[in-house]
Amino acid sequence: MLDVVFDDGRLLVIAKPSGVSVLDDRTGAPCLLPALKAAYARPRLVHRLDKGTSGVLLVALDRKTQRDLSRAFNARAIRKHYVAVVCGHLPSGRTLTIDLPLKQGRKSRYRVAGLREEIRPTREGWTIDAEGGHASRTRVRAIARGERRTAVAVQPITGRSHQIRVHLSWIGHAVAGDHLYGSPASSEQAHERLALHAHRVSVPGYGTFSVRVPEDVLGALR
């Protein structure tokens, strides 16, 4: 069953649940694409969310909308806002920028193009002097603090694969429940799901769409 947030015949916005892939994966578990094809004649994916990530997912319903959205993503005109719960305590009171280039690592993982010990904290955020990799920037702001974790508002400026998860892990604040980056088996990071949610997306010419942050994300803060 698709949880439809918006549908005007051109653009479909759905609330993607955590634990469901957009496309088939190696587990053979159900994914969203067959349900989309069963409900719509020609759904066209224009972006993806990781299997563990919940929240706003955009789907084009015609070729023109697909082209418009793809151009908007490439031009970084679509603004995406996430909420995450991360390990440890981030500085509060200001928005910080994680400016760390990314490159592909081993086993479908991604990594910063440099050594972890070369990452430099600054008043503005985190940076590194590194050659190669793809420029990647993420804005992050602490919005609530628990005993051992912080809820953060996150805005990826670039759109690299796994960008938010890699950036937060490499600065020492891995997302709770992240089984790919960090140590999810530890009590510090353990959680029932990846505590990352695509909360709001603003699309030029179409509007702003949001999906409420679920309790199983907010619960990671407690």
In whole angstroms, give the CA distance from residue 51 to residue 142. 24
Of 7, 24, 25, 50, the catalytic one is 50
Q: At residue 65, what are phi and psi to the nearest 5 degrees? A: -65, -40
Number of neighbours of residue 173 by Cβ within 10 angstroms: 23
Residue 50 bears catalytic tag: yes
Q: List Cα–Cα distances, 168 to 84, 85, 176, in angstroms.
A: 10, 10, 10
Residue 156 tokens, joined: 């990826």
CA angle 71, 73, 77 (to 5 degrees): 95
Catalytic residue ranges: 50
